Structure 1
Amino acid sequence: MGILLYICKLKLKIYSLLARYPVSYKWPTYWWRKCGYNIGDNSIISPYCLLWGTHHSDTNLLTIEDDVHIGPYSILVLRTHPASDIAKYGKISSTISGSICIKKGSWIGASVTILPNVTIGEGSIVGAGAVVTKNVDSYTIVAGVPAKKIRTLK
């Protein structure tokens, strides 16, 4: 069992590297699918996007539905740690992990960071450089650090 786990981890690292440094804009989407993540049809994950805190068992934590566009240098954080751990103990003693769901037809701008336990609603737009800490309603434009509602599209 140990060698299979090692091979699985190695395969995930290789696929992740190939997704991060692509030759074509279609490569990241292809390699993320090969890693086992749920990515819908006609979705585009731009070059240099990063899945932060991934583990070989985290493939069910990320769902990207159809017609989603994710801009370059965006970071999807599936696992992190609370800042209070370092302040109190000087080390990391616990982790926060959660799912990210990006619904159909959403656009994620360049250099966006999406934290765990966030759902981006259908047809929403996230402005470049935003840090999304909370759920985004459907057909909403959000931007800023932290991301705040700019307006509703419908």
Structure 2
Amino acid sequence: MAYANTSNYKQVSFYYKFKSKIGKILAQYAPYYKMRIFGMKLCGFYVGSQTYIGQDLIIASLISEKSCHLKIGDRVALGPRVTIILSSDANWSNLMKHIEPIKGTVILKNDCWIGAGAIILPNVSIGECSIVGAGSVVTKDVPDFTVVAGVPAVVIKKLNIS
């Protein structure tokens, strides 16, 4: 992804870009989950305690974009091949002249569980103790204690736990 109009974001150092690129590679390909968490932290993302990150995590964002944030709470479980999109644009297409890039923050609150292959779009918050079904595409916030699934993800049921 590359923004055609670069005047709207700050230039970042080569060191920051390099560190973020290494972090993203570790987050996606490292064989051990603690190394994947280390990769996330290299990118500047917050990862809480006792969090599990499954293999092949994809974080879609510009390496040079500092306005995109990912916050993962405590005891969060991410299944394999989860995709978290922090920024998206039409790259070099003429659409860039008419459509602003989408960028934002994703928040995964404490104790949530994201199923294998789920996709989470920018500016979405997954509530505490909530579950996102495998293969779901989350386009809007998920309330606490809620199970969502589907494309786009819809509420399947409320959890009766406290």
Q: Which amino acid aligns with 1:16?
A: K
Equivalent of 1:152 in 141, 155, 158? 158
SS in 2 for 1:101: strand
- Residue 133 of structure 2 is aligned to residue 127 of structure 1: yes
- Superposed displacement of residue 10, structure 1: 1.3
Q: Normalising by structure 2, what TM-score? A: 0.83
Backbone CA RMSD of aligned residues: 1.8
> TM-score, normalised on structure 1?
0.87
- Equivalent positions of 1:49-128 (< 5 A) are 49-58=57-66, 61-81=69-89, 90-93=94-97, 94-128=100-134
**Which residue type is aligned with residue 118 of structure 2?**
V
1:91 partner letter: L
Verify the 8 A CA contact 2:129 2:146 in the aligned structure 1. yes
Decide which structure has greater helix share.
Answer: 1
2:45 and 2:15 map into 1 onto residues whose CA distance is 18
Q: How many correspondences in the alignment?
A: 145
Answer whether contact 1:71 1:111 (CA < 8 A) is retained: yes
Take 1:60 and 1:53, find their aligned partners in 2: how far apart are those partners?
Answer: 7
- Output one character per residue of 1:69-119: Cα deviation in whole Å (capped at 9) or x when no partner: 01111110001137xxx6xxx432320111111110000000000001101
**Identical counterparts, % of pairs:** 38
1:131-150, Cα deviation, whole Å (9 max, x unpaired) = 00010010000000000000
